[in-house]
Amino acid sequence: MISFTIKRLFQSVLVMLFVALLSFFLFNFVGDPISNMVGQETSHAEMDDLRERLGLNDPFIVKFGRFLADAVQGKFGISYRLQRPVDELIAERMPATLELVFLSAVIATTLGVLGGLVTGLKPESWFSKFILTGSLLGVSLPTFVIGILLIYIFAVSLNWLPSFGRGEVVDLGGWRTGFATLSGWKALILPAITLALYQMTLILRIIRSEMLEVLRTDFIKFARARGLKKRDINFGHALKNTLIPVITVTGLQVGSLIAFSIITETVFQWPGMGSLFIQGVQFADVPVMSAYLVLVALFFVAINLIVDLLYFVVDPRLRSDLKGGHQ
C-alpha cells in the first residue's frame, strides 16, 4: 500500500512538472511579456533595461527554476489586464468558486448516484423511463442554456432569486463565504443547480449502465441460482460491485465541475476564478492563463490520486495483486 502511494505520488509530481513546463513556455515565449506590461511610449532602452532587471535574459534553466520556485509559492506574476498580482486575484476569488463547486458536487453526486441506482435496479418502471428521458434532455442542454433558462424563469419572470452576484458575504478571516447569509444562499441556488445539472445526468447514466452491467454478471446469476433474496442481491452483491465505477465517475465529475464552473460563473456574473480565467483568455492575459493551468492541473492530479487510493480500499483484488498474490 505504501509503495503504491509513493509510486503514484511520484507520478503526480512528474505530471505537475510537465504542466509547469507547459505553463512556463506559455508565459515566456508566447508573446512578449515586456511589451504587454509597459506603455507605448517606453523606449527600447528602457524595455531592455526592464528585461535585464526582470531576469528575462537569464538562461533557460535559471528562468525555469525561478518560475518553479515562484509557482510553488503561488506567485505567477502580474495580470496584464488588471495590473495586480495574479495570486492575489486568485485568492480573492477562490472561495466563491470553491463554494459553488462544492454545493454543485453534493447535488450532482447524491441525485446522480441515487437516480442511477434506481433506474438501474428497476429499469422497466415508468419512473425509470421518465428519469431516463429527462436525462437525455439534460445531456442535450448546454450548461449556459440551462443558466439562461433558470435566470429567465426564476429571476426575470418570477423574481424569486437573484440573477447575478453572490449576495451578502461574510468574511471569515480572509475567506468570504456566502453560506452564512440567506441572501448568500439565494444567490447560490441557481448557479449551483445550473452547474450540477449536466454532471448529474452524466453520473446518472453511467451509474445506471454500470448497475445494469453488474446485474448481468455470472455471479449475480449464481446468487439468484442460490435463491438469495432480491434485497440481498441488489443492495449487497450488486451495489458493492457498482461502487468501484461510482468512485471513478464521481471523482472525475468533480474535476469537470471545475471546468464547467467557468461557464456558470460567466452566465451568473459570479466573481470566481472561472470568470477571471475567461476574461484572461479573452484578453490574452498570459499570467492569468498560466496560473489557472497549473492550478487546475494540481486539482486534477490530486483528485486522481485520491480516487486511486480509494480504489485500493474498496477492491480486494488490487490489494493482493501488490502483495504478489496467488494466481
Q: Contact positions toward other proteins, by CB under 8 A?
A: 15, 26, 30-31, 136-137, 139-145, 148-149, 151-152, 156, 216-219, 221-230, 232, 236-237, 240-241, 252, 255-256, 259-260, 262-263, 266-267, 278, 280-282, 284, 286, 289, 293, 296, 300, 303-304, 314-317, 320, 325-327
- Measured from the CB atom, the residue of 143 and 188 that comes closer to other proteins is 143
What is the three-class DSSP state of 274?
helix
Residue among 167, 171, 172 nearest 182 (CA)? 167
Please state, in angstroms and rounded to a whole number, the distance separating the CA atoms of residues 278 and 83.
Answer: 16
The least distance separating other proteins from the CB of residue 174, rounded to whole angstroms, comes to: 28
Q: Work out the burial of residue 164: count CB atoms within 10 Å of its CB; fewer than 13 is exposed, 13-18 middle, 19 or more buried.
A: middle
Task: Enumerate residues 6+ apart whose C-beta is below 8 A from 112.
Answer: 199, 200, 201, 202, 203, 204, 207, 250, 253
Residue 289 · residue 26 · CB < 8 Å = yes
The least distance separating other proteins from the CB of residue 57, rounded to whole angstroms, comes to: 21
Q: How are the residues of the chain apportioned to helix, strand and coil, as percentages rounded to the nearest 5? A: 75, 0, 20
Angle of CA points 32, 15, 21, to nearest 5°: 15
- Measured from the CB atom, the residue of 67 and 277 that comes closer to other proteins is 277
The least distance separating other proteins from the CB of residue 284, rounded to whole angstroms, comes to: 4
- Measured from the CB atom, the residue of 5 and 269 that comes closer to other proteins is 269
Residue with cell 429527462: 134
- Measured from the CB atom, the residue of 91 and 141 that comes closer to other proteins is 141
The least distance separating other proteins from the CB of residue 171, rounded to whole angstroms, comes to: 30
- Measured from the CB atom, the residue of 118 and 267 that comes closer to other proteins is 267
The least distance separating other proteins from the CB of residue 54, rounded to whole angstroms, comes to: 19
- Measured from the CB atom, the residue of 65 and 236 that comes closer to other proteins is 236
The least distance separating other proteins from the CB of residue 30, rounded to whole angstroms, comes to: 5
Please state, in angstroms and rounded to a whole number, the distance separating the CA atoms of residues 87 and 77.
Answer: 8
